[in-house]
Amino acid sequence: MTVRHIVFAVAPDLVLLDACGPLEAFWRAELTMAAAAGKSGNAAEPVAYRTTVASIDGGVLQTFPGLPVVTERLDSLDDQPIDTLIVPGVPIDEHCTLQPELVSWIRRRAPEARRVCSVCTGAFYLAAAGLLDGRRATTHWREAPHLAQRFPNVQVDADPIFIRDVGHGEGKRVVWTSAGVTAGIDLALALIEEDVGHAVAMQAARRLVVFMKRPGGQSQFSAALAAQASAGGPFEALHSWMAGHLRDDLSVERLAERAQMSPRTFARRYVDEVGRTPAKTVSALRLEAAARALAESRRPLKRIALDCGFGSEQNLRRAFVRRFGVLPLEYRERFESAVVPQRAAVSALVAAS
């Protein structure tokens, strides 16, 4: 087993969870691999991963929201190979100045790494180092417009939880970028799966009590969250009712009746309050519920289609291909979560650990 050196290159005012979330995931994977190898999880000799948190000056680094961390000096790694370089985020605003020494270090060392990654606004550092030029990348949804404006050569997509861009041409490195904060855990689990397989990544997810892969097409935005954006408004109760009655008639006329308005008034006020049509909210809620059912259960497609209001398997398939580009069963294979019974190999590994 190759021990991979994972280096977290951090800047002052590091967003702590951007680093400690992935660190925890790699540590959980290390425990799983150690148990499978019959070694103590506290053994000094690493099995799968060795992690280093380093900054330009080293020493104690202040973080956001305030817990200090001890870091090594980045130049102390000059003679050490780096398998994976991860740049966590920092608070970003329009006046934010990136640390130039860190940008230079990333630009110099990134070509030597097998893969380069960012968590949240760490994408700004990768972009400043020129590593995202011509690439598709993501960051925290709130900072995506800022990233696109500041670095116009980057193809910013605010929707995904993470993006793996393989680049083009000889010598191109794989570059991963992820959304905000907890998305760093999703990213780390994907890296673990790529390195040591699905079983270890699944066990790490189970220990962290998180999804191996989030349902909902790996989107930063859920339909329920979007609906809650109008919490306290006139449609808060209606959204809760809709989520519990997805298989019912959710036409504008029926929703207007529920809201005690005329259909025309309801449709107009709904768009004003929520920012999209009632039909789009219904479609998003049904699709998200179906995605969650596929990820968390082995219910047959026919039952899921009926329970989520699609009416037929054919309608469900069309909706998935249109939104996610895959059929429902393909989606289940990609995004099944830790609550789904795993294959015998996974069960054996879990039992061993």
Beta strands, E only, the chain: 4-9, 14-15, 49-55, 59-61, 63-64, 69-73, 84-87, 115-118, 136-137, 155-156, 162-165, 174-178
| Inter-CA distances, 199 with 194, 205, 210, 213, 236, Å | 11, 10, 15, 13, 41
Q: What are phi and psi of 91, to 5 degrees?
A: -60, 135
DSSP secondary structure, 238-297, as one string = HHHHHHT-TTS---HHHHHHHTTS-HHHHHHHHHHHHSS-HHHHHHHHHHHHHHHHHHH-
Whether 308 is catalytic: no
DSSP structure class, residue 4: E
Q: Give the residues across from 136 on adjacent strands.
A: 155
Q: Give the residues across from 87 on adjacent strands.
A: 118
Choosing from 20, 96, 117, 120, the catalytic residue is: 120
Instruction: Give the tokens for residue 292.
Output: 């969650």
Residues annotated catalytic, as ranges: 120
